[in-house]
């Protein structure tokens, strides 16, 4: 049975993780693996809820392109 800081850490993760807001424990002792784990967790979060780029149509496209051009010229 674990005790001390490790148990407290595990208890905290179990008590606060939810299906809609999970914890992802990323090991930091191997940089390439940590970055890979972060990439997979991010991809799962984006792909999971079935998000899609909305169709804005031509009526909204022109004002958005105009605003983009204005911001790029600042």
Cα(first)–Cα(last) distance of the chain, in Å?
60
pTM: 0.52
pLDDT digits (tens, 9 = 90+) for 3-55: 777 888 889 998 999 888 888 889 889 999 999 999 999 988 888 777 777 88
Q: Distance (Å, rounded) from C-alpha 9 to C-alpha 2?
A: 11
Q: Distance (Å, rounded) from C-alpha 67 to C-alpha 1?
A: 59
Task: Give the pLDDT band (50/70/90) at residue 1.
Answer: low
């Amino acid at each position: 049975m674990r005790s001390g800081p490790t148990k407290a850490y595990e208890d905290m993760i179990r008590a606060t993780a939810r299906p809609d807001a999970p914890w992802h424990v990323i090991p930091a002792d191997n940089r390439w693996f940590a970055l890979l784990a972060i990439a997979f967790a991010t991809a799962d979060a984006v792909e999971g809820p079935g998000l899609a780029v909305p169709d804005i149509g031509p009526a909204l496209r022109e004002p958005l392109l105009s605003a983009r051009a204005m911001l790029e010229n600042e």
